[in-house]
Structure 1
Amino acid sequence: MTLTNESAARTWFKALPEWNDEVLDRLEDLAALLTAENDVQNLVSDASLAELWVRHYADSAQLLNFVPRETCRSWLDLGTGAGFPGLVIAALRPECQVHMVESRGRRIEWLQRAADSLHLSNAHICGTKVEALETRKFDAISARAFAPLPKLLDLSARFSTDKTIWLLPKGRSARQELKELQGWNHLFHVEQSITDTEAGVIVGTLNGRKGRKA
C-alpha cells in the first residue's frame, strides 16, 4: 500500500488504534502552526505543505506499526527539525514520553511553542547536540534524515539496549546503507515506506559493536 494523496492519508489515519477526535484536533492545529511558522523560517518545503498528511504526518505515524503500544514508554527522536516524527508520535501516543533532540536555536523555540500550543505534556524538547545529551536508555529511537547510518549509530548507540526498537526512515538509500553497514551486531531490516514506493525504513534492534568483550 502506498498513500498517494491527502484523502488516502486521512483515511489511513482513521484506522489507527491511536486515532480519536483529540488527535485530529491536534494535527489540524499543528498544520496551522507549521504553515504560519514556515513563512518565518524554512521548516519544510512549501511543496510538502500541500501534502502534509502524506509527506509528514503519515510518514511519521507509520513508525508506530513497529512499536507495540504496551511496551513503549520512552522514545528518542534525533534531529527532530520541524517536529517529525516527534510531535506526531507524541500526539498519537500520549502515554509515551517523547524526547526530541534538536540543536538549532530557532527550531528549538518552534518545537517548544508547538508542544505547548498542542498541550503535549509528554513532548520534551532537548535543545542540544546529540553528543552532549545525557546517556539514558529508550524503548524506541527514531531519526529522519539525521545522519548516515554509521555516524548515527556511533552517536546514539549509547541510548539503546538490545530491546530498543530503531526506526530510521532513510528514503531511497535505506537498502544500500544497511548493506554497507559494518562493525555492529544488529537485527536490522528494511520495511517499505507507505508514503513513497522507492523509500525504505530501517527497523530493528542493536546489540553493540562486533568483537566487543562480553
Structure 2
Amino acid sequence: MRELGEWLREQVAPWGLSLSEGQLRQFQLYYEHLIKTNEVMNLTSITDAREVYIKHFYDSLTLSQVVDLSKAESLIDVGTGAGFPGIPLKIAFPGLKLTLLDSLKKRVGFLQEVVDRLELTQVSCVHGRAEELAKQKGFRESYDLATARAVARLNVLAEYCLPFVKVGGAFVSMKGPSVEEEINEAKRALHILGKTTCQRKEFLLPDEMGKRNLIIMQKRDHTPKAYPRKAGTPSKQPLS
C-alpha cells in the first residue's frame, strides 16, 4: 500500500500538488475503511487497490488542475456517494471547508466514520436532497465550488448544483469519455441557472484505465428563486 501512496505522490507532483507522509497515511486509511465497509454496504464496485488509487483517488484530484483549490474556501460535493471527489480533495487541501451531501443515510454514516477516522476538520456530512437543501439559507449560493461525479446528465446536475454556488464561483462536473451531446443540451439550463459559461478539459487516467472529462461551469449571475424545482422534477423534466 505504501508503494501506491508513493505512486500517487509522484503522479500529482507535476500539478504542483505536494502530499505529505501524513496525507498518504490518510489515503491508506480511507482505502482500508472503504473496502471493509464495502463488504456489508454497496459503496463501490472497484475494490482492487491500484484501481481505487487511480479511478477514485487520482481521478478525484484531477479537479485541482482546473480550479485553484488553494483559493477556494468552501466546496460542496453533491451526491458524493462514498466520498468522491470530496474526501480526496479535502485530504490534499486541508484548508477546504467541505460539505458532503448524499440522499442515503447509510452512506452519510459511512462518510462520518471516514471523517472521524482521518481526523478531518471543517467537514459536514449532510443527509438530504439537493433540491430541498439548495433552497435553504446557509446552503443556497454559499459555496465557492460545487462538484458532482454523479451519473445524471449535465442539464439535471446543473439544476442540482448551481443553486449552491456563489456568483463568481464554479460548478465542476466529472464525466466519462463522451460529453459533447450533454454539453449542447445543457446550454439553455446553464444560462437560466446563472448565465453560466462552460469549458471542458479532457484527460486520460494512468494504466489505460479510461478517458475522463471535467466540465467547468463559471456562474455569472444569481440563480432564479424558482430553481431548483421540487424533488424529482429536474430528473423527470430536465431543462433543455
What is the CA–CA distance in structure 2 between the aligned matches of 1:97 and 1:23, rounded to whole Å? 17
Amino acid at match of 2:82: A
| Contact 1:157 1:208 (8 Å CA) reproduced | no
More displaced 10-residue stretch of structure 1: 81-90 or 185-194: 185-194
Cα deviation, residue 20, structure 1: 1.0
Cα deviation, residue 9, structure 1: 4.2
Cα deviation, residue 154, structure 1: 1.8
| Contact 1:48 1:55 (8 Å CA) reproduced | no
Of the three residues 151, 156, 159, the one matched with 2:161 is 156
Distance 1:147 1:208, change over 3 A: farther
Q: Match for residue 59 of structure 1?
A: 59
Q: Match for residue 145 of structure 1?
A: 150
Q: How many residues align?
A: 206
Q: Match for residue 200 of structure 1?
A: 213
> Is 1:29 aligned to residue 29 of structure 2?
yes
Amino acid at match of 2:211: E
Percent identity over paired residues: 23
| Contact 2:76 2:147 (8 Å CA) reproduced | yes
The C-alpha deviation readout for 1:176-209, integer Å capped at 9, x for no partner, is 2112223213221110134255321101302359
Give the alignment's Cα RMSD to 1 decimal.
2.3
More displaced 10-residue stretch of structure 1: 96-105 or 69-78: 69-78
Which segments of 5 or more consecutive residues in structure 2 lack a partner in the other structure? 225-240
**Highest relative contact order (Cα 8 Å, sep 6+), 1 or 2?**
1
What is the CA–CA distance in structure 2 between the aligned matches of 1:207 and 1:82, rounded to whole Å? 31
Q: Match for residue 12 of structure 2?
A: 13
What is the CA–CA distance in structure 1 between the aligned matches of 2:222 and 2:185, rounded to whole Å? 15
Cα deviation, residue 67, structure 1: 2.0
More displaced 10-residue stretch of structure 1: 89-98 or 45-54: 45-54
